[in-house]
Structure 1
Amino acid sequence: MDPSEVDFAHTDAADRKRREKATELARFAWDRGITGAELLELPDDRLRKLARAAGANPPSTRETWTVAAELLDQKATWAAANPDHPQASPAHADEKIMWVKRPIPPWT
């Protein structure tokens, strides 16, 4: 492979760093009761704020957020199988409303 053709965004080191950041983001989101689907529905500006609140630099691509959403789905599956475990429940679920807004029902 020609060195000028190296895709630095998809090297082993980049994949490892992406997974580390996604894990950090997923932990923060999990503790607030945010699901993988909800995470992926958040607009970019809210994702950047969430990343900063989690103590991470905002990812430059959606790829990291997709990995974080997958980790959240895995954690939800694990939590459903281990409901009595202390880490099966989000520690700060009351903060979810700060990130995920419920749709406002229309007036009829």
Structure 2
Amino acid sequence: MAEKNFYSHSDAAEKSRRDKAVALARYLWDRDISADDLAAMAADVRRKVARAADINPPSSDETWTVVTTLLREKAEWARDHPGHDAARRAHSDEKILWVKPPVQPWR
């Protein structure tokens, strides 16, 4: 009988997913990429973002869901603490690399 791999549901796996999600959320936050921006990203762009952050891309959407939650929580916190250093975005100029502004039609 084949032995099942229960690692993906273990405490160690959960901690690993959480650590990866926190690292991704920090990278995205510093680049002013919101939870809504992340949710709108195609899977291939998300993988590229993870690689740019020197993080092995998550193999499931579960980790990305945690990242989205963390970004929403951080945004709420930053609204309540606008003067705090942690509310600033260190690399907001890099957002354009990942989130393209909508193209305005010619008039």
Q: TM-score, normalised by structure 2?
A: 0.90
Determine the C-alpha separation between the residues in 2 that align with 1:36 and 1:89.
Answer: 16
SS of 2:105's equivalent in the other structure is coil
Any idea what SS the aligned residue of 1:47 has? helix
Among all aligned residue pairs of Structure 1 and Structure 2, give the percentage whose two residues are the same amino acid.
Answer: 50
Unaligned runs of 5+ in 1: none
1:39 alignment partner in structure 2:
38
**Gapped regions of structure 2 (runs ≥ 5):** none
Alpha-carbon separation, structure 2, partners of 1:24 and 1:87: 15
Deviations for 1:27-70, whole angstroms, at most 9, x for unmatched residues? 00000000011112111111111001111001111111110111
Q: Distance in 2 between matches of 1:41 and 1:11?
A: 30
How many residues are paired up? 106
Tell me the residue number matched to 1:56: 55
Q: Which residue pairs with 1:80 in the alignment?
A: 79
| Structure 1 residue 14, shift from structure 2 partner | 1.1
Matches within 5 A, 1:1-108: 4=3, 7-107=6-106
Distance 1:68 1:14 in 2: 16
CA RMSD of aligned residues (A): 1.7
The superposition leaves residues 48-101 of structure 1 with CA deviations (integer Å, 9 ceiling, x where unpaired) of 110011110011111111101110111111111110101101111111010011
Could you tell me how far 1:8 is from its partner in structure 2? 3.1
Residue type at the aligned position of 1:20: D
